[in-house]
């Protein structure tokens, strides 16, 4: 059974909107990182949906989605490492209170 492309694109748009809302409104660094991951996964969903709809025989969209997931995993690892260092130095990981890079 093949899911119609507008359903896939609608779900991708909904997930991207939720991720964007979370990334712009949250103060907790972990929540912002999770929101960015939701946005990346919505892009992956759209990639796979388009690839399945346009060229179902070729795995180009799926391979590119795997590449995006790999980059997202590396981004999450670096982001969590930074958050852990900040959490060890302070009691709070509120983005508004972190001013390490400010002059």
- Residue-wise pLDDT tens digits, 13-65: 999 999 999 999 998 888 999 999 999 999 999 999 999 888 888 888 888 88
Q: Regarding predicted confidence, which is higher, 5 or 92?
A: 5
CA 72/CA 44 separation, integer angstroms: 11
* Predicted local confidence at residue 37, as pLDDT: 93
CA–CA distance, 31 with 8 (Å, rounded to integer):
25
> Which of the four pLDDT bands, split at 50, 70 and 90, describes residue 101?
low
Backbone angles phi, psi at 102, to 5 degrees: -85, 150
Report the mean per-residue pLDDT for the chain.
89
Cα(29)–Cα(93) distance, integer angstroms? 6
What confidence tier does 3 reach under pLDDT thresholds 50, 70, 90?
A: confident
How far is C-alpha 102 from the chain's CA centre? Answer: 26
């Amino acid at each position: 059974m093949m899911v119609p492309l507008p359903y896939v694109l609608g779900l991708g748009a909904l997930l991207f909107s939720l991720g964007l809302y979370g990334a712009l409104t949250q103060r907790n660094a972990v929540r912002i990182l999770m929101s960015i991951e939701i946005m990346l996964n919505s892009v992956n969903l759209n990639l796979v949906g388009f690839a399945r709809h346009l060229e179902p025989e070729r795995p180009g969209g799926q391979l590119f989605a795997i590449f995006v997931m790999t980059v997202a995993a590396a981004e999450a690892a670096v982001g969590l490492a930074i958050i852990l260092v900040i959490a060890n130095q302070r009691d709070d990981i509120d983005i508004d209170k972190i001013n390490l890079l400010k002059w």
